[in-house]
Chain A
Amino acid sequence: MNALVQKSTASLDALKRIHPLMPWFASFVLLLPLPLLALNDYQIYLLNVICIMIILATGLNIVKGFCGQVTVGHVALYAIGAYTSGVLSVKFGVPFWFCLPAAIAVTMLAGALVGIPSFRLEGAYLALATLGFAQSVEIYIRVTNYLGSASGLGGIAPPSIGNFVFYDYFRYYYLVMPFMLIAVYASFAILRSATGRAFMAVREDALSAAATGVNVRRYKLIAFMLSAVYAGLAGSLFAHMVPGYVHPNNFTVIEMVTLLLMVVLGGIGNIWGGIIGAILVTIIADLTRDFYFYQLLMFGLVIVGTVLFMPKGIGGIIDRYFVSKRFVAAREKTAEQKRAEAAAAKSGES
């Protein structure tokens, strides 16, 4: 196990030395043949869903993990993205490549609207306000005839490039997967940038961040808008996936809980954790489909259990593993140095 980890980190470092983007390219190449390994169409569909969920969870991590704003209404932004894309495609016949930016723009505006209350609200206030927002969006979609109300919005055209139409799950994977990689890369880039540092300053202590010259309101708003961009992207990708059908049932409390579970289980503020959480939860949710009645109960128990006993999530465990490894390595290094010094001193004496 240790040797394996060492080898993979070493090869990653080697790739990074060639070009900083090399590891991402390598993972792209590695992910390319994945649908060929799938046993049936359903598993390819799951792969697509996992990619969309990774985009969503990564976006949620920006506002929740980096910036420390508790929002539970992320699923509403996802719904807004999906419905904007769907309505543009169905009612106006706009092709996917225009629907996607439009959906992202509209969701970004909605994200800004959610973000504005965060100037004045913190913690639980914000959580409840966003919960109310999510609930209102779902109810609004359910009762508005223009949006298909309770019967859903169907007939959303699949995307195409020239004559190449992404009409089945296998082809769609090659659309979703690159978007997912770009999204994950972008979130790492944000975390490393000055904006990311400002987010973390706001998270740790808004007051001292403001005292050191971080415009707290601006960065809170930026965090909300960025995560909304992710939600809009995920929503649009979801809406255009075969069979091109969105329904209010896709954006209910269940999805809200699943999304929250992904981020919490993976570790809040940990990008890799969020990704692992998204993969794990999607697969587990699928495996336990037969126990549908108990699923939410189980998810709730896991959320509470994670918060109580493993507050840093899976990502925290992985982090600790690497940190302790580095710590052990550093200790061995100093011990070796001391031994060498002692040996040198001994030879000097004699």
Chain B
Amino acid sequence: MLYDFLIVGLSIGILYGLVALGISLIYSGLDIVHFAHGEIFMFGAFFGLVLYDEAGFNYPITLFVAMILAGIMGVIIERVFYRRLTSQGGGYTVAGMGMIICGFGMAIILQNIAFLIWGANGRPMHVNFGMPVELGTITLPQSYVWILVVSVALMAVLHLFLKHTKLGLAIRAVAANKDIAYLMGVNVPLMISLIFGVACALAAAGGVLIAPINYVQVEMGYLMLIKAFAAAVVGGFGSLPGAILGGLMVGVFETLGAAYISGSHKDIYAFLLLIFVLMVRPTGLLGVAAKVKA
């Protein structure tokens, strides 16, 4: 019984990690928290639904196309809306408060656009993965296997991209210091768009992966944002391995809490964990030092 819950918690957790990875990536690159990230996740799930159920692509292609679509969407949002604010400089005083409020407004806009297009009802994504996998005494539905495998693969690809390519090096340079990166000939605005695109693609992958087990609905992004943020903070904000670790912790904590304490309060546990970590160790588990700004 406990192992079943652990497996479920881990696979949900790795999804939280995937979305948290995007939030952390944007944070480390731009020093902003992207408030509309949960909505990108929701859009990704809907893209997946439309591509799979209505256009009839198979699952891996759906995943890939949805990621690309969401990535383009992220780039457009960054270019059209956030660019204006970040180019005005972004401290987090009242002037920088604009960034947060703008992100919040963006989330509301995206949510309502999705609501107008797809309606308020939750829709299932009918994917037939075949028989569950038997692992000793545990039977594991294939959708969970997909979640684990794809997430780990995406994380590995991201790691290779950031650590072993020239483009990844440029992104890390932008994250470290934008001015000096500029002087070294890095195209900083392009890199920022790229960061946004990659982060949004990761969120969309999370959405497509969760679609077969959960209903796809307009309100799914909102809770996801809070949980992914909790994951990012628990692991240490801005730290990419920390985001994954935090996601796993939040997933397991939440599933075990729902199983053994009270199922109807399930969505509160992540927040409790967040507050606890903030009180006890605000840098998170793997965070290096608390960044005062942002």
Flag whether A74 is at the interface (Cβ < 8 A): no
Report the separation of the CA atoms of residues A121 and B291 in the bound assembly, to the nearest whole angstrom.
9
Considering only CB atoms, which chain A residue lies closest to B265 in the complex?
A143
Which of A136, A260, A293: most chain B Cβ within 10 A? A136
Residue contact A304 to B102, C-beta cutoff 8 Å: yes
Residue contact B94 to A65, C-beta cutoff 8 Å: yes
Min CB–CB distance A296 → chain B (angstroms)? 5
Flag whether A115 is at the interface (Cβ < 8 A): no
Interface string of B94-120 (1 = CB under 8 A from A): 111111111011111101110110000
Residue contact B100 to A123, C-beta cutoff 8 Å: yes
Considering only CB atoms, which chain A residue lies closest to B232 in the complex?
A128
Of the residues A143, A293, A296, A307, contact of B101 by C-beta under 8 Å: A307
Flag whether A93 is at the interface (Cβ < 8 A): no
Flag whether B72 is at the interface (Cβ < 8 A): no
Residue contact B93 to A304, C-beta cutoff 8 Å: no
Q: A117-B279, A143-B265 are in contact. Are A70 and B105 (CB under 8 A)?
A: no
Flag whether A204 is at the interface (Cβ < 8 A): yes
Considering only CB atoms, which chain B residue lies closest to A297 in the complex?
B112
Flag whether B278 is at the interface (Cβ < 8 A): yes
Which residues of B are found within 8 Å of A281, using beta-carbon distances? none
Residue contact A70 to B274, C-beta cutoff 8 Å: no
Of the residues B111, B264, B282, B294, contact of A143 by C-beta under 8 Å: B264
Report the separation of the CA atoms of residues A42 and B85 in the bound assembly, to the nearest whole angstrom.
41
Residue contact A268 to B94, C-beta cutoff 8 Å: yes
Q: A135-B267, A307-B102 are in contact. Are A127 and B33 (CB under 8 A)?
A: yes
Q: A123-B293, A131-B226 are in contact. Are A308 and B102 (CB under 8 A)?
A: yes
Flag whether A120 is at the interface (Cβ < 8 A): yes
Interface string of B241-285 (1 = CB under 8 A from A): 000000000000000000000001101101110110011001000
Residue contact A68 to B97, C-beta cutoff 8 Å: yes
Which residues of B are found within 8 Å of A204, using beta-carbon distances? 93
Report the separation of the CA atoms of residues A113 and B229 in the bound assembly, to the nearest whole angstrom.
20
Which residues of B are found within 8 Å of A264, using beta-carbon distances? 101
Considering only CB atoms, which chain A residue lies closest to B106 in the complex?
A304
Considering only CB atoms, which chain B residue lies closest to A261 in the complex?
B105
Residue contact B97 to A308, C-beta cutoff 8 Å: no
Considering only CB atoms, which chain A residue lies closest to B270 in the complex?
A132
Of the residues B92, B94, B222, B293, contact of A253 by C-beta under 8 Å: B222
Flag whether B233 is at the interface (Cβ < 8 A): yes
Residue contact B95 to A303, C-beta cutoff 8 Å: no
Report the separation of the CA atoms of residues A311 and B101 in the bound assembly, to the nearest whole angstrom.
11
Considering only CB atoms, which chain B residue lies closest to A305 in the complex?
B105
Min CB–CB distance A338 → chain B (angstroms)? 38
Which residues of B are found within 8 Å of A128, using beta-carbon distances? 33, 35, 225-226, 229
- Interface of chain A residues 111 through 125 with chain B (CB within 8 A): 116-117, 120-125
Of the residues A120, A124, A260, A296, contact of B282 by C-beta under 8 Å: A120
Which residues of B are found within 8 Å of A124, using beta-carbon distances? 32-33, 35, 92, 99-100, 294
Report the separation of the CA atoms of residues A120 and B229 in the bound assembly, to the nearest whole angstrom.
16
Which residues of B are found within 8 Å of A205, using beta-carbon distances? 93
Q: A143-B264, A304-B81, A308-B85 are in contact. Are A129 and B278 (CB under 8 A)?
A: yes
Report the separation of the CA atoms of residues A57 and B282 in the bound assembly, to the nearest whole angstrom.
30
Considering only CB atoms, which chain A residue lies closest to B290 in the complex?
A120
Write 7 A-B pairs (CB below 8 A) sorted by A numbering.
A120-B290, A122-B92, A135-B267, A253-B108, A257-B104, A299-B105, A308-B102
A-B complex: 8 closest residue pairs judged by Cβ atoms: A123-B92, A303-B105, A300-B108, A124-B33, A297-B112, A300-B109, A304-B105, A132-B271
Given A72-B104, A304-B106: 12 more A-B contacts, CB < 8 Å: A121-B282, A124-B35, A124-B99, A131-B225, A132-B229, A143-B265, A204-B93, A293-B116, A296-B108, A297-B116, A301-B105, A307-B101
